[in-house]
Structure 1
Amino acid sequence: MGNRILIVDDAAFMRMMIKDILTKNGFEVVGEAQDGAQAVEKYEELSPDLVTMDITMPEMDGITALKKIREKDPAAKVIMCSAMGQQAMVIDAIQAGAKDFIVKPFQAERVIEAVQKVLE
C-alpha cells in the first residue's frame, strides 16, 4: 500500500499537526518542506506516494510547486491545503492537477478521508 507522504507547509506547527494526524493513522511521513522550491526538491529526492501542499508560502507558492512536480511526474498525487476563503486558489489548484484539497484548520477525519481517497 502506498502511504509515503511528503508534507509541505511554511508553518512548522501545521506540518506537525498533519504529521501527527497521518502517523497516528498508519501513514509514513517521509519528509517535510517549508516552501514550494523545497517541495519540488524533496519530491524528486524522496518520490513520495502523496504530497500535502499548502497554497500560500514564501519563495514559491503551492500551485507553482504543484505544476513543477506534475511536469516531472504527471502521476503525482497532491492534496492542497488552504485556509478558509481561498476558493479561487483551490480552483486553480484543481486545474493544475491537485487531486483534492483540505481546509485549515484541519479536521483529522477530513485529512485521512482525503488521503485515503487519493491513494486508492
Structure 2
Amino acid sequence: MAKVLIVDDAAFMRMMIKDILEKNGFEVIGEANNGLKAIELYKKERPDVVTMDITMPDMDGIEAVKEIKSLDASAKIIMCSAMGQQGMVMDAIKAGAKDFIVKPFQPDRVLEAINKVVGQ
C-alpha cells in the first residue's frame, strides 16, 4: 500500500484527495498546508508519493519540489494545479515533478496519476 503526503493550502482540497485515496486503499500519512511543512513532513515520513499544490503561502509548490528533490532525488511528486497554470506546471516538471492533476479533481485521473508514479 503506497503512503501519500498531501500538500495543499485549502483544507477542502486535502480532504477531497484524502477521500479519493483512502477509498482506494492508499494510506495518507500526512497533510501539509504549505511548502515548508511539506518538506518537514517529507523528511520525517518518507512517503512513497506526494501530491503538491502549486500556489501556497510561505513556500510555493515549485520551491518545495526543488527542496524535496535535493533531499531525495528519487522523490515522486505529483503537482495539483488549477486551470490556467500550465506555465507553473512546466516549471514544476522541470524541477522534478513526475505528473500533474488539475482541479477540480477527477477521482479516476487522481488514481491514474498516483498508480503510474508509484509504479515507476
Q: Mark yes or no: TM-score above 0.5.
A: yes
Moved over 6 A (4+): none
TM-fit CA distance, 1:36: 0.2
TM-fit CA distance, 1:51: 0.2
Aligned-partner Cα distance in 1 for 2:34–2:92: 16
Name the structure 2 match of 1:74.
73
TM-fit CA distance, 1:108: 0.2
Name the structure 1 match of 2:98.
99
Name the structure 2 match of 1:47.
46
Name the structure 2 match of 1:57.
56
Aligned-partner Cα distance in 2 for 1:43–1:34: 13
Aligned-partner Cα distance in 2 for 1:33–1:52: 10
What value does the CA root-mean-square deviation take over the aligned residues?
0.5
Calculate the TM-score normalised by the size of structure 1: 0.98
Consecutive unaligned residues of structure 2, counting only runs of 5 or more, are none
Aligned-partner Cα distance in 1 for 2:13–2:77: 17
Give CA-to-partner distance per residue, 1:20-67, whole Å, 9 cap, x none.
000000000000000000000000010000000000000000000000
Alignment length, in residue pairs?
Answer: 119
Report SS of the residue matched to 1:51.
strand
Report SS of the residue matched to 1:115.
helix
Identity %: 70
Aligned-partner Cα distance in 2 for 1:86–1:72: 26
User: Does 1:38 find its partner at 2:37?
Assistant: yes
